[in-house]
Amino acid sequence: MSTPIADDALRLEVATLMVEALNLDVAPKDIDPQAPLFGEGLGLDSIDILEVALEVSKRYGFQLRSGDEQNQRIFASLASLSDHIASHRTR
């Protein structure tokens, strides 16, 4: 069974969730799906990621755990986060 890959609509939805949750000064459509979420990309920090994880759990019905060893991969970019949501969402 292959892992679902997020479509453009889900990527835009996740980008919008991040912009709204973090009050980012960027349009969701302007977020490069491949750009890093940390550092030189969006410049998010660990507190921002916790906020995003909380919003993802509310909206998509599954938990992103802080101790998950996959978090670095999951939160690497908008594309990787969206793909993870596509394969784990319950709503």
- Listed by start position, the domains of the chain span 8-88
pLDDT for res 1: 42
Chain centroid to Cα 5, Å, comes to: 13
Average pLDDT over residues 63-82: 92
Average pLDDT over residues 18-41: 94
Average pLDDT over residues 22-34: 96
pLDDT for res 5: 86
Q: At what angle do helices 46-60 and 78-88 cross, to 10 degrees?
A: 30
Q: Is the pLDDT assigned to residue 4 strictly greater than 90?
A: no
Residues belonging to the chain? 91
- Look up residue 82 and give its amino acid: S
CB contact at 8 A, 52 and 46: no
Fold (topology level) of 8-88:
1.10.1200
pLDDT top residue among 39 and 15 = 15
Average pLDDT over residues 9-16: 97
Average pLDDT over residues 23-49: 93
CA–CA separation, 59 and 62 (whole Å): 8
Q: What is the dihedral of CA 56, 31, 8, 77, to 10 degrees?
A: -60
SS3 38: strand
Q: Is the pLDDT assigned to residue 83 strictly greater than 80?
A: yes
